[in-house]
Structure 1
Amino acid sequence: MSVFTRRTLLGALASSPLWLQTAWAQSTSLKISHQFPSGSVAEGDFRDRLCRMFAADVEKRTRGSLKFSIYPGSSLMTTNSQFAAMSKGALDMSLVPLSYAGGDIPEVNIGLMPGLVTSYEQGYAWKNKEVGKELARILADKGIVIVSWIWQAGGVASRGKPIIEPEDVRGLKVRGGSREMDLMLKEAGAEVVNLPSNEIHGGMQTGAMDAALTSSTSLISFRLDEVSRSLTTGRAGAYWFMFEPLLMSKAIYDRLTKDQQAAIMAVGAELETFARKAAQQDDAAVASVYQKTGARVVDLNPDALKKWQEIARATAWKDYGERNASCARLLALAEQAM
């Protein structure tokens, strides 16, 4: 019977290929947290799928020196705790709506500014424009690295009539998703409700809210068709576009090797094509899902979109630009990118 000693282990490692020695010495396990329903690489909410695809590809490219555990459905920590945990280095990665951190970092609310982004082309162009570079710099200063740029169009699920024109929300309890979205809704006469998207179903089921604005994917994944009689889709245009990136703690990122960092950023960038296609597919698919339950499905027309945008400019945009010089600069850069 042979005895496996520390000397035997070190000898075996020394005679192994260099890449294996590196992987052994630097093997790191990272946690990815998100609020969305669990699935697989092939099926389910595309945001969960993207996290799983990212983990598998990075592990392969780093030859196992980086491994990942996925925690869907807020199973690791509460939804609203994720951003702060990453900024402190207490959480490695998360795919999270950026505006959820808007209470502490007002600049990030530009990621859900009503009417500012009205197409995928415009949103994804931010990455290489000054507005995107400035947003990335602000996040880096807060301890956050953008790994994948992900934009999603959204619509409105309603317990009653379809929400198309601004006057349609008057007197209703509505979830917008950000301070700025709420300002626009208040001006239109709504009573705003603040809940993360994974809690909308319960709120609409109990009557705590009458309508909710959220992404097409969340309108499907959180089964809001079960508690809705009407749906206004974002497939023909939307004033609700959410920046919902895959993020990483800068403190954790900075501890990795250059090769590991390069693998993370390369895979993150490559998955943006998948994210955009999947989001657009959900914009179309959501209509079918709701029609099957008998809900009334409508699209937002250009005239209504313009009305919402005019309200947003006078309320949300104005308020955001007046919060501080950094917000004013970001807004000006975003308007240049329109």
Structure 2
Amino acid sequence: MKKTFLCSMALATLFSVAGCSQSNDTNNNGVNVDSQDITTLRLSHLWPTTGAAHQDIFVPWAKKIEEESNGRLKIEIYPSSTLSKTDATYDATSKGTVDIGATLQGYTNGRFPLTQIAELPGLSNSATQTNCMLQTLYDDGAISSEYEDTHLLFMMGSSPGGLHTVDTPINKPSDLRGLRVRRPSAIAGDIIEAAGGTPVGLPATDLYTSLQRGVLDGLSLPWDAMGSFKLIELSHTHTNMPFYSSALVVTMNKDKYDSLTDDLKKVIDDNSGMEMAKVAGKAIDAEAAKYMAEAKARGDVMIDIPDPLNDPEWKGALEAGTQKYLKDTEALGLDADTVYRKAKEASAACKV
């Protein structure tokens, strides 16, 4: 009897310990959520924690998804390319190394040729307009075939990218001759080269040291990125014009999305698409305006060319770059002219 009693006590103790080892989390409504019911999604992006993309887009987005899922979805954010290299983030997402990835299509040159048509000069004057244009092109099926290996959440884009140098004024294309200028994409690189400059491909995370050491003479970047990566500390002459716009994408691993229950898929879906594209655009535009104002207040040289496609100095170089890109894309067997026409239509409809 004593032996049976001791065995029963031991078993009871064992089950008690096992039961206590199952941890519970408390959601925002104060309801306990069993840890086994929580799905954690790892999000990789390239921006620093001080940037608007991190603070004003991804952090609130992750919090909203957690709240609407009653704590059953959690998003761990890895900024500054700490989880995946910037140029490998899309592939890492498609393969499942990353659950959600946010990156620029221009970092995987040639992978998204139709999407990058939206980057061409003169199509956008704000991130809000770029985001709306890109999301429209995706929703209408004009570029959706380029994302079939992932579950696309929403499109993003930069504010218009201008030219920024340490101290060399860029009033006309010939002023770029002999300068080493960071290009954000092949499109911008073609235009820089057509103008006589030397385009240099570098990820945004390497730009500060490259500019500081004289590896670069200037940059082609939007104002939001200039501020996020603290590049306005080193550049004091700025040519403000819609030289190009960078396309960005926020997308999810297909298998991970498919593994979610229908109610959790709905939470993701409710925080995707055009509404999120607009939210992201407004945040980026506010960031761009803030850093441009800071540079002006500091006394930096500002050169404004608001309509370069109708500027006699810039029109030739920009049109040459545009036609080269469209021709190269057509040579791939893709209907670039149709997508360009649709991009112009979406641009007009999305104009703020």
Scaled to the shorter chain, the TM-score interval is 0.7 to 0.9
1:277 aligns with 2:298: no
Q: Match for residue 314 of structure 1?
A: 323
- 1:48 is aligned, of 48, 54, 66, to 54
Q: Distance in 1 between matches of 2:323 and 2:73?
A: 47
Where does residue 289 of structure 1 map in the other structure? 294
Q: Secondary structure at the match of 1:82?
A: helix
Deviation at 1:58, TM superposition (A): 0.5
1:247 match: 251
User: AA paired with 1:251?
Assistant: D
Q: Is the 8 A contact 1:151 1:243 kept in 2?
A: yes
1:6/1:80 CA distance change after superposition, 3 Å? farther
From 89, 101, 104, give the equivalent of 1:97. Answer: 104
Structure 2 CA distance, aligned partners of 1:71 and 1:128?
24
Q: After superposition, what is the alpha-carbon deviation per residue over 1:75-119, rounded to whole angstroms, capped at 9, x for unaligned? A: 222211211101112111122112212244434433533444445
Partner in structure 2 of residue 109 of structure 1: 116
What is the CA deviation profile of residues 113-145 of structure 1, one whole-angstrom value per residue up to 9, with x for unaligned ones? Answer: 34444455653443564565335522432x223
1:24 is displaced (CA, Å) by 5.4
Q: Give the direction of change, closer, same or farther, for the CA distance of 1:314–1:217 in structure 2 (3 Å limit).
A: same
SS at match of 2:152: strand
Contact 2:41 2:75 in 1 (8 A): yes
Q: How does 1:15-34 map to 2 (within 5 A)?
A: 25-34=36-45
Query: 1:189 matched to which residue of 2?
Result: 196
Q: Per the alignment, in what secondary structure is the counterpart of residue 275 of structure 1?
A: helix
* Counterpart amino acid of residue 37 in structure 1: P
Q: Distance in 2 between matches of 1:156 and 1:336?
A: 27
Larger mean Cα displacement after TM superposition, 260-269 or 194-203: 260-269
Structure 1 residues 57 and 36: CA distance shift in structure 2, 3 A: same
Partner AA of 2:102 in structure 1: L
What letter matches 2:133 in structure 1? W
Question: After superposition, what is the alpha-carbon deviation per residue over 1:205-249, rounded to whole angstroms, capped at 9, x for unaligned?
Answer: 111111111222110011112211212235xxx132122232222
State the aligned residue count.
322
Give 1:257 shift. 1.8
Q: Which residue matches 2:158?
A: 152
Distance 1:220 1:194 in 2: 19
Structure 1 244/162 Cα, relative in aligned 2: closer, same or farther at 3 Å?
farther
Q: Distance in 1 between matches of 2:334 and 2:278?
A: 33
SS in 1 for 2:184: coil
The letter for the 1-side match of 2:322 is: R
The share of aligned pairs that are identical, in percent, is 24
1:302 maps to a residue whose letter is D
Cα–Cα, structure 1 residues 110 and 54, in superposed 2: closer, same or farther, change >3 Å?
Answer: same
Distance in 2 between the 1:23 and 1:258 partners?
Answer: 19
Q: Is the 8 A contact 2:132 2:277 kept in 1?
A: no
RMSD over equivalenced CA pairs, Å: 3.0
Relative to structure 1, the CA distance from residue 228 to residue 74 in structure 2 (aligned partners, 3 Å threshold; closer, same or farther) is: same
Output one character per residue of 1:29-67: Cα deviation in whole Å (capped at 9) or x when no partner.
1111111111xxxxx311112111111111111111111
One-letter code aligned to 1:264: I
| Partner amino acid, structure 2, of 1:242 | S
Q: Which amino acid in structure 2 is aligned with residue 173 of structure 1?
A: R
Which structure 2 residues correspond to residues 193-204 of structure 1 after superposition, within 5 A? 193-204=200-211
TM-score by length of 2: 0.80
1:219 to 222, 226, 233: 226
Change in CA separation of 1:227 and 1:56 when aligned onto 2, cut-off 3 Å = same
State the Cα distance separating 1:330 from its structure 2 match.
Answer: 3.2
What is the identity, as a one-letter code, of the residue corresponding to 1:76? L
CA contact (8 A) 2:117 2:340 kept: yes
Q: Determine which of 249, 259, 263 is the counterpart of 2:267.
A: 263
How far off is 1:6 after superposition? 7.6
**Aligned with 1:168: secondary structure?**
helix
Instruction: In structure 2, give the amino acid aligned to 1:268.
Output: S
User: AA paired with 1:29?
Assistant: T
Q: Which deviates more from structure 2 when the two are superposed, residues 314-323 or residues 176-185?
A: 314-323
1:292-326 superposed Cα distances (whole Å, 9 cap, x missing partner): 54421232232466515423333223323333325
Contact 1:134 1:330 in 2 (8 A): no
Structure 1 unaligned regions, length at least 5: 14-19, 39-43
Q: Distance in 1 between matches of 2:338 and 2:319?
A: 20
